[in-house]
Structure 1
Amino acid sequence: MKLEQKVTYLVWEIIFYSNFFMGLMSIGLNLETNIKIGLPLNNIEYYFFISSLSILFYFYAYKIPQLITVASNPRTLFYIKNRKSLFLFNIFVSVICVCSGFVIFLRCYNEIFQLSFEHYIILGFTFLLSISYYNWKFGLSLRKYTWFKPLLIAWTWAITTVYLPLLILDLENKISFAVDSKFYFLFVQTFMYFIVNAIIFDIKDFEDDYNRGLKTFVVKYGIKFTLNAIIFPLIFLGFLSFIIFGIWYNLPIHRIIFMLIPISFMAVFAYQLKHKRSILFYLSAIDGMILVKALFGILSVILFES
């Protein structure tokens, strides 16, 4: 491998294995929400907070114990080889998360304690659901069960990228948002994207999940069944929902076609999963599909509404 290729591969590893890309993805989806709903952007501290929180969430979910010093999985091997650097990186990210979160709290602590009961229920439920992703010592980990893993991932991402930015905007700047059909469509769209995303990731982790006894769709039913009976039907439903949304709002045909491009990319990519790929390919392509979705959502407003 040439030096340029080695450097490129190393940079790609750092971006995706360190979960740095998760932070970028979170920012992209949060920006998409405000722009598509038609509200101002949040303060910059919010984007520091939500992106750093996303990085930390996945870092601790896949943290490798100190006792493990050898691995065949490239991602695990990256964690083992770069333990000290990753530890320092996550200390830095933790400081950003705490400081930015504290700034947000100072700005709106009075409003936080005046929230309606429904908001407390949503936030509390999301917190409990998200921490159930971890392998706790007392045995509770919903990621071990077939449907729970994709559902909890999808719910957590939809809440933190569609509901939360609008709630914080309301608390900090007194800019309220309407829970209307546009909000629900964006929430369900994000939710469905991440369900498909999570199940596709299970294809990547098939061997590891099988050895650890995790009952994912792929382990339980096989790759072919998962693709044909679960992933493709979900993508089709997403495809159909875009068309229904476009007709509902009397959008021109060229805009509906533009909106269908990201989910079409996902369908093409899912078809390619019949062939085995590297872990880095899965991470960059699968998560890349989510960022493409956010980018096209933002462009659909800039190109067709401005």
Structure 2
Amino acid sequence: MLKKITAFIFFANYFVGILAVALSIETLAQLHLPLNSIPYYLLIFSATVFYYTIAYSSPPGSDVSPNPRTEWYRTHHRFIRVSQYFFFAVCLSIGCWLLVTRFSELINLPVYWWLMMLGICTAAVLYYGLLPKSVISFNLRNTGWLKAFVIGFVWAGFVNIFPVAMLKIEHGIDVQEPAFMLWLFVKNWMVMSANAIMFDMKDYEDDANIQLKTFAVAMGLRNTILYVLVPLLSVGLLSFLTLAYFADLSPVTVFFNFIPFISYLIVAFTLRKPKSVLFYLIVIDGLLLVKAVCGISGSFFTSSIH
């Protein structure tokens, strides 16, 4: 029973939806801004689950797969279809509600906010090639080493740009120091990209067979850890330390934010041996939850940023 519940939470992408909400809250907590409305968090949870389910679902009648996640989608196809209708309806309902109740705020949102959000959404759609092939057949996921930075960019934008933009729409609140937001974005981009590269290590053999030159395929697992993951996480840490210096964050806040980076490095060095799909979904994605919890907790020990 426990195994079925675990598979349900992680294979059905509910945990990823929780991560989207938690990381969005972390951004606002670290910028010492008020939280978004509950409908917004329902929207991003539903949109995240819907997006990843489209990406990984398989058509009915597919052959039995040795991949546990693919097989779960095959055997739960009817549930997935109903679930997708439900989450699409939630997204549509909240989107219409925002359009009606916040119409003037939406049209008065500065153009640069719309351009940033449009760029993030475009990258997200192109990453999995979700548009009909008759429209465009380009798929950013097949770009080898670049794909990790693309999905890292999408996630960083989704949990950094969107919550702040929505806060301006809902409450008219602006970030007083945009540079702080930039450093947080860079930190999250590096961490999310490292997270994606760690997932690529799971698909090392499959990617090698189709000649998809991810870092793991091109450099090997050990070199990917030493010469890609460690530098990326170091850049992310440096970005946070820059923010900590200029924002005068307390030592306790800095300590809390060190924990995820250390955790990532520890887990990275365990990936030289093959792991199960659930290991990656629980442990590696779980590191993002650790990051969110530590970021939120650390924000309580700095009264404000200036």
> Cα deviation per residue 1:139-165 (whole Å; 9 max; x = unaligned)?
300110124311221121112111111
By how many angstroms is 1:261 displaced? 0.7
Q: Percent identity?
A: 32
CA distance in 1, matches of 2:177, 2:57: 37
Look up the match of 2:303: 305
Alignment of 1:9 with 2:6, yes or no, is no
By how many angstroms is 1:260 displaced? 0.4
TM-score (norm 2): 0.91
CA distance in 2, matches of 1:97, 1:185: 30
Among 150, 160, 163, the alignment partner of 2:161 is: 163
CA distance in 2, matches of 1:110, 1:251: 36
Alignment of 1:72 with 2:66, yes or no, is yes
CA distance in 1, matches of 2:218, 2:102: 46
Alignment of 1:227 with 2:221, yes or no, is no
| Mapping 1:138-177, distance limit 5 Å | 138-177=136-175
Look up the match of 2:284: 286
Alignment of 1:93 with 2:91, yes or no, is no
Q: Which stretch shows the higher mean deviation, 81-90 or 212-221? A: 212-221
By how many angstroms is 1:255 displaced? 3.4
CA distance in 1, matches of 2:250, 2:173: 30
| Mapping 1:256-275, distance limit 5 Å | 256-275=254-273
Task: Letter of the 1:290 partner, please give it.
Answer: L
CA distance in 2, matches of 1:160, 1:110: 23
By how many angstroms is 1:201 displaced? 0.6
Q: Which stretch shows the higher mean deviation, 239-248 or 132-141? A: 239-248
Among 12, 18, 30, the alignment partner of 1:18 is: 12
The runs of 5 or more residues in structure 2 that have no matched partner are none
Task: Letter of the 1:25 partner, please give it.
Answer: L
Alignment of 1:203 with 2:189, yes or no, is no
Task: Letter of the 2:178 partner, please give it.
Answer: D
Look up the match of 1:3: none
The runs of 5 or more residues in structure 1 that have no matched partner are 1-6
What is the aligned residue count? 300
CA distance in 1, matches of 2:238, 2:116: 28
Distance 1:250 1:177, change over 3 A: closer
Look up the match of 1:103: 97
CA distance in 2, matches of 1:207, 1:67: 26
Contact 1:34-1:41 within 8 A present in 2 as well? yes
By how many angstroms is 1:20 displaced? 0.5
Among 51, 56, 61, the alignment partner of 1:57 is: 51
CA distance in 2, matches of 1:303, 1:227: 33
Alignment of 1:82 with 2:76, yes or no, is yes
Q: Pairwise CA RMSD of aligned residues?
A: 1.9
CA distance in 2, matches of 1:212, 1:108: 47
By how many angstroms is 1:111 displaced? 2.3
Q: Which stretch shows the higher mean deviation, 296-305 or 52-61? A: 296-305
SS in 1 for 2:300: helix
Task: Letter of the 1:158 partner, please give it.
Answer: A
Contact 2:23-2:292 within 8 A present in 1 as well? yes
Contact 1:242-1:260 within 8 A present in 2 as well? no
Task: Letter of the 1:214 partner, please give it.
Answer: L
CA distance in 2, matches of 1:43, 1:252: 28
